[in-house]
């Protein structure tokens, strides 16, 4: 997956988020601060919805919402142990990390919306990507045809 959100925007969002919201588990704040401490790791971080569809994900909840406080999923393995998540992230720094955040006001929090990406593992997003790719290929083929037809 290509990185479309600049690291500085992700860090700005997380700093603001951690100031404004209290997480259900304080280890989650430590984990997010660890991610922010390394720009290379932050390049691998993607904020999405429905993270359970991804190969490696963190689900983190703030106080005031009725979702689970924390879970870490890697392939079919799921744990609520933030320390295991930290060690996996530390040891596998080239893997993409998909983070799903649950907090009040998420849909109107502009810094969050600015870093929120489409989940590439959802079937509807994969289909949309295929349609866009096919359209781009068609446009490129037509452009090449017109270019050669006009003798350039």
pLDDT of 124 strictly over 70: no
Q: What's the confidence (pLDDT) of residue 72? A: 97
Q: What percent of the chain has pLDDT over 90?
A: 72
Q: What's the confidence (pLDDT) of residue 55? A: 95
| 25-39, 77-91, 117-131: least confident range | 117-131
Q: Mean pLDDT of all residues in the chain?
A: 90
65: left (phi over 0), alpha (psi -120 to 50) or beta: beta
Q: What's the confidence (pLDDT) of residue 99? A: 97
Answer yes or no: are the C-beta atoms of 79 and 31 closer than 8 Å: no
Q: What's the confidence (pLDDT) of residue 130? A: 66
Find the mean pLDDT for residues 37-56: 95
Q: What's the confidence (pLDDT) of residue 1? A: 45
Better pLDDT: 110 or 145: 110
pLDDT tier for residue 152 given thresholds of 50, 70 and 90: low
Cα separation, 72 vs 91, whole angstroms: 15
Answer yes or no: are the C-beta atoms of 48 and 150 closer than 8 Å: no
Q: Cα 83 vs. chain centroid, distance in angstroms?
A: 20
Better pLDDT: 41 or 128: 41
Q: What's the confidence (pLDDT) of residue 83? A: 94
């Amino acid at each position: 997956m290509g990185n479309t959100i600049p690291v500085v925007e992700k860090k700005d969002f997380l700093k603001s988020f951690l100031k404004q919201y209290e997480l259900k588990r304080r280890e989650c704040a430590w984990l997010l601060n660890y991610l922010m401490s390394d720009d290379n790791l932050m390049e691998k971080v993607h904020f999405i919805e429905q993270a359970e569809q991804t190969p490696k994900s963190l689900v983190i909840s703030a106080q005031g919402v009725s979702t689970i406080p924390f879970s870490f999923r890697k392939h079919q393995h799921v744990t609520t142990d933030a320390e295991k998540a930290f060690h996996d992230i530390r040891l596998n720094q080239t893997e993409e990390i998909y983070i799903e955040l649950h907090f009040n006001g998420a849909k109107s929090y502009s810094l969050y919306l600015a870093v929120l990406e489409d989940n590439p593992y959802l079937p509807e997003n994969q289909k949309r990507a295929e349609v866009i790719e096919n359209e781009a290929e068609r446009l490129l083929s037509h452009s090449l045809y017109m270019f050669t037809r006009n003798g350039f």
